[in-house]
Amino acid sequence: MNDSLGTTGLILNEPLLWEKGKAGRCGFSLPKRDVDPCPLEPELVGHGPDFPDLSEVDVVRHYTRLSQWNFGVDTGMYPLGSCTMKYNPKTNERQASLPGFSGAHPLIPESLCQGILQMMAELEAYLAEITGMDAATLQPAAGAHGELTGMLLIHAWHRKRGGQRTRIIVPDTAHGTNPASVTLCGYRPVPVVSNDRGILSAEAVAAVMDEDTAGIMITNPNTLGLFEEGILEIARIVHAKGGLVYCDGANMNAVMGVVKMGKIGVDVMHLNLHKTFSTPHGGGGPGSGPVCVKKDLEPFLPVPRIVKREGRFALDHDRPDSIGRLQAFYGNVGVMLKAYSYIRAMGPEGLKKASQMAVLNANYLKEMLKTTLHLPYDRPCMHECVFTDKFQAPHHVTTLDMAKRLMDYGFHPPTVYFPLVVAGAIMMEPTETESKEDLDNYIAAFEAIAEEAKTEPGLLRHAPRKCKVRRLDETAAARKPCLAG
């Protein structure tokens, strides 16, 4: 690779604002008072925070410099496997910021928020149609929240039938939050090992499925980026013993517009609007994890439900079998608006094309890199592919070393050491928004790093070398975290 995207550049150091401020500086001018000042007694209100005195240029440069330390999907390729960090069209932000949406109060009466309720009702219908399910709820505010909702729905369904069960099957290729969601709902996770093809076998499920098992949580496509080809037979086995099939839909970006999960035996699944449907992801902001269900589970969906009566939308709380309310307000409605905008802009063919391009990009990476990095499952993948550091191990270079070195080349590292079923895993998801030129630059960077592992392994063990911060002592950081600042 002749030219690297990474460079030392002009990245400036920046102190804390409290260290930067100087007494007497001011960045704004208040209008002249037309009333006499009336200071409050300190003993009544206490002493306020000691805010630093800053000029306008101090503030602007401070936040501009901090922004230059960050790397995001608007900066470059963000190939985090299992996370679907694709570019978010800015037009979605425009729709979500329209005053009628962004200015609506959570307690606004139904008569004054018909537009928002219509958008939410239509979004639920779109998601149900895309997944092949019968109904949906937008209440879950994140993917893990959706998983919890799914487990609560399964619990309520079994309770209504007069018998409760204690176990849920969780494959080793499921997302890491799945066992936690199972346990949080009082179930015991039953692990099942994937086969030598990286997928779940029907025989393995049949061996553990019994009348005390409430169902299975299956991630499809799974965390190895492979489609669970035996899903129809697995669903038949679970249903025959009175269980339900939960699908973790976080990887829906590979199959939207292609696979109808409700047609292949899935009873309940969650989606990540902040992944598959192209709304901002990460940074501690709001997410959205809607849950779609088959008709038998619809009575148990959380309240309030959005219904249409006499031509107007309303919130219906009269659902006696409901699992109840999951959050006080729809504070994440902005995320829903962006997903709604994305779906309307793309249309059925556009959504299908996005999935096809995501799969194409991932398979291109897999084929181009499989002689550079060890590929444990050499077969067509879905939206992501998993490599290992097996080829670099003889040179004492690890997955972490290569991920750190990739930063010097100007790329965000992929997911490392996950899924746990693959030792030294390097998990890549290019998404459909990356061009072939971007992928080729990424491939060239990894090829250069693999060559360095042979000729200059010490270089990799001390990477990154060009970044704002050099390699941290991760063990010390975990044992003695610095929480100041």
Paired strand residues for 385:
428
Q: Which one, of 203, 141, 139, 208, lies nearest residue 169 by Cα? A: 208
| Exposure of 404 in the CB half-sphere (CA atoms within 13 A) | 22
Q: Do 426 and 450 touch, CB atoms closer than 8 A?
A: no
**Cα separation, 252 vs 275, whole angstroms:** 9
Give residue for tokens 């990245």. 11
How far apart, in Å, are the Cα atoms of 263 and each of 67, 182, 223, 233, 425?
46, 24, 22, 13, 33
**Cα separation, 316 vs 331, whole angstroms:** 18
| Exposure of 355 in the CB half-sphere (CA atoms within 13 A) | 19
Q: Residue-wise pLDDT tens for the chain (485 aa)?
A: 667 777 776 778 889 998 988 898 988 888 888 898 887 777 777 777 788 999 999 999 999 999 888 888 888 998 999 888 888 899 999 999 999 999 999 889 999 999 999 999 999 999 999 999 999 999 999 999 999 999 999 999 999 998 889 999 999 999 889 999 999 999 999 999 999 999 999 999 999 999 999 999 999 999 999 999 999 999 999 999 999 999 999 999 999 999 999 999 999 999 999 889 988 776 666 889 999 999 999 999 999 999 999 999 999 999 999 999 999 988 899 999 999 999 999 999 999 999 999 999 999 999 999 999 999 999 999 999 999 999 999 999 999 999 999 999 999 999 999 999 999 999 999 999 999 999 999 999 999 999 999 999 999 999 999 888 888 888 888 898 877 65
**Cα separation, 337 vs 94, whole angstroms:** 10
The answer to whether the predicted template modeling score (pTM) of the entire model surpasses 0.95 is no
Phi, psi (deg, nearest 5) at residue 173: -100, 15
**Which residue ranges form the domains of the chain, and what is each CATH number?**
90-345 (3.40.640.10), 348-479 (3.90.1150.10)
Q: Which one, of 134, 419, 94, 96, lies nearest residue 273 by Cα? A: 96
